[in-house]
Amino acid sequence: QTIYRKDYAPPAYLVETVEMGFDLDPDLTRVATRLTLSRNPESDGKSVVLYGDGVQLVQLRMNGRELTRRGYALGNGVLEIFNAPEQVTLEIETAIHPALNTSLMGLYVSNGNFFTQCEAEGFRKITFFPDRPDVMAKYKVMLRADKKKYPVLLSNGNLIEQGDLGDGRHYALWEDPFKKPSYLFALVAGSLVCQEETCTLKSGREVLLQVWVEEGNLDKTQHAMDSLKHSIRWDEERYGLELDLDRFMIVAVGDFNMGAMENKGLNIFNTKYVLANPRIATDADYAGIESVVAHEYFHNWTGNRVTCRDWFQLSLKEGLTVFRDQEFSADMIGTDSGRAVKRIEDVRVLRQAQFPEDAGPMAHPVRPDSYVEINNFYTVTVYEKGAEVVRMYQTLLGRDGFRKGMDLYFERHDGHAVTCDDFRLAMADANGRDLSQFELWYSQAGTPRVKVETAYDAGQEAFEITLSQSCAPTPGQAEKKPFHIPVAVGLLDSQGLDMPLFLDGSGSAEAFTTAVLELTESSQTFRFKHVKEKPVPSVLRNFSAPVHLDIDYTEAELAFLMAHDSDAFNRWEAGQRLAMRRMLALVKTVREGGQADAGAAGPLHDAFRATLTDSRLDPAFQEFALTLPSETVLAEQLDVVDPHAIHAVRQAMRRSLAQALRGEWQIAYQANRTPGEYSPDAESAGKRGLKNLALAYLVELDDDAAHRLAQTQYDNANNMTDRIGALAALANSSAPGREQALARFYEDFEQEALVVDKWFSLQAMSRKTDVAAVRELMRHPAFTLKNPNRARSLIFSFCNGNPSQFHAADGSGYEFWAEQVIALNAINPQVAARLARTLDRWRKYEPALQQKMKAALQKVAATRSLSKDVLEVVTKS
Ligand code: ARG
Ligand code: ZN
């Protein structure tokens, strides 16, 4: 059953207060709820509509009187009370079974403790409720449980009372002073310990900060705590937004569907985004924790204080909050080159995951028009492309203009559930601009393509840039209107320096070095004056819009840009284009029966050598610049994908770069060691990144020297980044110590679930691991499909991260995929639906593989009792 955005209607009743009492027991938890409701003046409906999913209704009373089966209708997850009075008090008693809940939505048990996840529609698995985000109410929550087993009882807001109940049980009463939608409700109960600190806000108010974990993990909470404090400070400084509660809690849980959840005052996190120390966490883990802690904290304003009217507006909070966490992480690095590296990382994610989504069967607008299962729309389009859309406001309006828009947004909408249009109007009104065409970024799916043509007139000293845009059809949208696209441009002189820009018709005599051209029509020409020599244009600086850019450069121009562009993003981009061009040519050769001989890649080798040996460059930048476009990104460039040809070419290219630059890699390896105590700061992390990249290239040579280097690094590592870097290198090699290193790693870390995940994942992605080897790993005692992190570490890592093995010519990878989707479907539909998306792009593959993929999809589609999550994905494919 499909839900449409156009069918939105305000609720007939609004909820004022919610009081809940929980008698927590893993086998049978009783929930008593008292709601006060009143008719919504915005609606003329007279029915109270409540949703319930898998909950047993024990009793229902309205205004003090028990309702019999004649007083309401209950079916298909909807409880409807017809012709209800103006003011209603409902008392609802439900019974639920947390220990049997493997979906990890609603109330569930993880390692003996209770947790909740209510976004998007999990609250209805706890009780019957108008479970929709435009119903905001104040909550008071009483938790009762066995005191020994569940010494800690937490919910949203402030703790107002706690005590013993006498019979070995105790209670805690929590009150949240702010109105919130039900998806932000949370409770946690169990045996947990916390690190706590106080923090003084800008206003002088003191708040209590806590990070709750299982016993034994208190040596892994400091980084999350520091990240929280930095986030609080940053939101005050950049946006003038202060924490509105006296207490802010983060709780880590090992079984969790997503990254984390912004429940008011009680954020619940996947352990992966909380726990860190140098022994178990990599530099990437540290960075991930910092950004997810920030993301959830920032939701307190962008998501909680101002929330979404309906789930079609999800990007209102997610796109905006991702943008905010991206900016925060960039500011935490602090340097210009650090900011650029962060931007490159974010764009890599967009291209790797969102561009394919936008070009495939699940393509949808940032603000979707319909869905079957909302959980399937927590996508890279809603999150990452949504963040790009928010970033474009800032590019168009400037930082100050963007801030004005944010201020107006909160002034108008604090405490309300609103839409993406409301956000856009706040941006427009605060800046006196018409942003109506900008709406198309929300309503049209697909990645626009911008074509660049240039002409230089030496006599006139004029340089013209003509930009033309188009966008391929996506499901349900055959025709696309032109988008409003900011295109940041610079012009380089023959020395590689930025020319001063004089844009014709801009009315400004001021010279600047980057101009933001606003492309609003299908084709437009922009003219620069006083251009003394023929420039090399640098277009779409800092990736100013989420588009494909078609621009004809010669290899010499690309090498020139890679060496000189003042815009670090475009320096990186030039290198990627250079590599991409060479690799696509080689793929063609291989497809025509030739050899993947990358030996003759002269200009590419020279450009890479220049980057690798330029000591002025930031190592983190060098690492990205020297990493070839991924197999997925290459595949997206082709009409017919042959994953084996792509793999062969990328590998040949890596070997040739290893060979040609061997001496330089060795020097870089030595120069970027980080002796002494471990620190996850960006500078040291950048060095380790480049050093481990050097190691990975050297190991492509698969010789004794490289094996020894990796083995020595493994043996001497004092941190997880170096250890796993060495182990990954060994795992991809035929080093004699390979098996032993893998075995030893497991023995050393078997007590650390997050590290065991890394161990599975690294093997799943090793080029040496085929389908049979993955099946073998599934039989390992530490493997389970029930834990999402573990399932992702092995199954997802193999299906999504090991293309050459997954796409085995006999189709065994696809059969494996189908089996796992079916198995997961019975346990956890949300996780199953994620895995189901692996075959999204099946139509792009060469015919022999296509047929086998199709058969696997059909096998899943034909499975009995398929969840609507999985069904939606496979039917749309
Ligand atoms: N709002 C959370 C975040 O982005 C994501 C929760 C999504 N959960 C889900 N079951 N769909 O921070
Ligand atoms: Zn979020």
Q: Write the pLDDT tens digit of every residue in 552-570.
A: 999 999 999 999 999 999 9
Quote the tokens at residue 141. 């929550």
Ligand nearest to the CA of 387: 2
Nearest atom in ligand 1 to the alpha carbon of residue 122 is 10
Residue 794 pLDDT: 98
Nearest atom in ligand 1 to the alpha carbon of residue 257 is 10
Query: How many angstroms does the Cα of residue 299 sit away from the middle of ligand 2?
Result: 7
Query: How many angstroms does the Cα of residue 120 sit away from the middle of ligand 1?
Result: 7
Specify the residue with its C-alpha closest to ligand 1, atom 12. Answer: 261
Ligand 1: which of 102, 261, 296 to mutate, most ligand atoms within 8 Å of CB?
A: 261
CA distance 194 to 209: 10
- Does residue 294's CB lie within 6 angstroms of at least one atom of ligand 1? no
DSSP state, residue 189: E
> How many other C-beta atoms can be found within 10 angstroms of the C-beta atom of residue 100?
12
Residue 602 pLDDT: 77
Diameter of the chain measured on Cα atoms: 94
CA distance 318 to 367: 11
Residue range 19-57, pLDDT digits in tens: 999 999 999 999 999 999 999 999 999 999 999 999 999
Region 145-157 average pLDDT: 98
Residue 336's Cβ-count burial label (10 Å; 0-12, 13-18, 19+) is exposed
Question: Exposure string (b/e) for 107-128, b if CB count within 10 Å is 16 or more?
Answer: bbbbeebbbbbbbbbbbbbbbb
Query: How many angstroms does the Cα of residue 776 sit away from the middle of ligand 1?
Result: 33
Q: State the DSSP H helix or E strand holding residue 511, giving kind and residue range, or none if neither.
A: none
- Does residue 186's CB lie within 6 angstroms of at least one atom of ligand 1? no
- Does residue 698's CB lie within 6 angstroms of at least one atom of ligand 1? no
Q: Which amino acid is at 74?
A: L
Instruction: Please provide the average confidence, as pLDDT, over all residues in the chain.
Output: 97
Task: Name the strands in the sheet holding 548-550, side by side, starting at the edge strand that comes first in the sequence.
Answer: 523-528, 462-470, 449-457, 548-550
- Measured in residues, the chain has a length of 877
Residue 847's Cβ-count burial label (10 Å; 0-12, 13-18, 19+) is exposed
CA distance 121 to 78: 13
> Is residue 598 over pLDDT 80?
no
CA distance 85 to 131: 20
- Does residue 262's CB lie within 6 angstroms of at least one atom of ligand 1? yes
> Is residue 149 over pLDDT 80?
yes
- Does residue 134's CB lie within 6 angstroms of at least one atom of ligand 1? no
Region 695-713 average pLDDT: 98
Residue 508 pLDDT: 65
The whole model's pTM is what? 0.98
- Does residue 378's CB lie within 6 angstroms of at least one atom of ligand 1? yes
Ligand 1: which of 131, 184, 258 to mutate, most ligand atoms within 8 Å of CB?
A: 258
> Is residue 427 over pLDDT 70?
yes
Specify the residue with its C-alpha closest to ligand 1, atom 9. Answer: 119
For a pLDDT cut of 90, what percent of the chain falls above it?
A: 97
- Does residue 771's CB lie within 6 angstroms of at least one atom of ligand 1? no
Q: State the DSSP H helix or E strand holding residue 436, giving kind and residue range, or none if neither.
A: none
Residue 675's Cβ-count burial label (10 Å; 0-12, 13-18, 19+) is exposed
With H, G, I as helix, E, B as strand and everything else as coil, classify residue 876: helix
- Does residue 853's CB lie within 6 angstroms of at least one atom of ligand 1? no
DSSP strand E in 105-254: where? Answer: 106-110, 113-117, 136-146, 152-155, 158-164, 169-181, 187-190, 193-200, 206-213, 247-253
- Say which of 296, 388, 631, 636 is annotated catalytic: 296
Distance separating the N- and C-terminal Cα atoms of the chain: 17
75 has which bridge partners?
78
Nearest atom in ligand 1 to the alpha carbon of residue 299 is 12
Residue 601 pLDDT: 65
Residue range 78-124, pLDDT digits in tens: 999 999 999 999 999 999 999 999 999 999 999 999 999 999 999 99
138 has which bridge partners?
17
Nearest atom in ligand 1 to the alpha carbon of residue 292 is 12
Residue range 828-870, pLDDT digits in tens: 999 999 999 999 999 999 999 999 999 999 999 999 999 999 9
Query: How many angstroms does the Cα of residue 68 sit away from the middle of ligand 2?
Result: 41
**Close Cβ partners of 671 (under 8 Å, ≥ 6 residues apart):** none
Quote the tokens at residue 660. 């040609």
CB-based contact 132:11 (threshold 8 Å): yes
Rounded to 5°, the CA angle 228-318-54 comes to 100
CA distance 453 to 475: 30
With H, G, I as helix, E, B as strand and everything else as coil, classify residue 869: helix
Helix, strand, coil percentages (3-state) for the chain, rounded to 5, are 45, 20, 35
Nearest atom in ligand 1 to the alpha carbon of residue 295 is 12
Residue 597 pLDDT: 75
Does 815 participate in catalysis according to the annotation?
A: no
With H, G, I as helix, E, B as strand and everything else as coil, classify residue 289: helix
> What is the residue whose two structure tokens read 């996947």?
270
Closest by CA position to 5, among listed 316, 306, 304: 316
> Is residue 198 over pLDDT 70?
yes
- Does residue 315's CB lie within 6 angstroms of at least one atom of ligand 1? no
Query: How many angstroms does the Cα of residue 837 sit away from the middle of ligand 2?
Result: 21
Query: How many angstroms does the Cα of residue 186 sit away from the middle of ligand 1?
Result: 13
CA distance 152 to 191: 6
Nearest atom in ligand 1 to the alpha carbon of residue 105 is 10
Residue 69 pLDDT: 86
- Does residue 120's CB lie within 6 angstroms of at least one atom of ligand 1? yes
Compute the radius of gyration of the chain from its Cα atoms.
28
Query: How many angstroms does the Cα of residue 637 sit away from the middle of ligand 1?
Result: 31
Ligand 1: which of 378, 381, 830 to mutate, most ligand atoms within 8 Å of CB?
A: 378
Per-residue confidence at 362, pLDDT binned at 50, 70, 90? very high
Region 439-463 average pLDDT: 98
Residue 509 pLDDT: 62
Specify the residue with its C-alpha closest to ligand 1, atom 6. Answer: 261
Quote the tokens at residue 458. 């030496």
Strands 56-62 and 462-470: unpaired
Closest by CA position to 251, among listed 189, 185, 177: 189
